């Protein structure tokens, strides 16, 4: 089996990584065009994948903090932040709080710059 390039990159950051927390959530109703789905497709469709891909919403950001207390072999991959209205702006503070605590507890973060 050929090593997936993304898996190789994750291993450079955390050699024993087993789980990737991904933001934003995958839009499964648009699999053919959803960037995040297409990026992780090989892992999601392979039952024997070396990586577990876990997409998290704003309501599940606390899980990245809990992952540090469980000593999970995981990292967080943030693709982009979305602020579309006042409600999502308020949620941004919660997201940044969770990411900050995650990092303070030793979590590894990949932050992708898109459309530069």
**CATH code at 104?**
3.40.50
Asked, for residue 48, whether it belongs to a domain, the answer is yes
59 in any annotated domain: yes
- Predicted TM-score (pTM) of this structure: 0.88
The predicted structure's pLDDT at residue 29: 87
CB 54 within 8 A of CB 21: yes
Question: Is 41 inside any structural domain?
Answer: yes
The pLDDT-based confidence of 1 (bands split at 50, 70, 90) is very low
Q: Per the structure, how many domains does the chain have? A: 1
Computed over every residue of the chain, the mean pLDDT equals 90
Residue 92 main-chain phi, psi, to 5 deg:
-60, -35
Structure tokens at 38: 């297409």
DSSP letter at 22 equals: E
Q: How confident is the model at residue 115 (pLDDT cuts 50, 70, 90)?
A: low
Structural domain that includes position 21: 5-111
**Does residue 97 form part of some domain?**
yes
Residue 56 lies in a domain: yes
71: phi > 0 → left, psi -120 to 50 → alpha, else beta; which? left
| Residue 116 placed within a domain | no
Alpha-carbon gap, residue 66 to 102, rounded angstroms = 9
């Amino acid at each position: 089996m050929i090593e997936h390039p993304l898996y190789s990159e994750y291993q450079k950051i955390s050699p024993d990584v087993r789980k990737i927390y991904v933001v934003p959530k995958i839009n499964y109703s648009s699999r053919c065009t959803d960037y995040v789905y297409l990026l992780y497709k090989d892992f999601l469709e392979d039952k024997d994948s070396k990586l577990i891909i876990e997409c998290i919403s704003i309501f599940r950001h606390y899980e990245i903090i809990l992952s540090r207390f469980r000593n999970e072999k995981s990292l967080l991959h943030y693709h982009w932040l979305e602020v579309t209205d006042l409600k999502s702006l308020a949620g941004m503070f919660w997201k940044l709080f969770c990411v900050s605590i995650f990092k303070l507890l030793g979590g590894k973060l990949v932050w992708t710059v898109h459309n530069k």
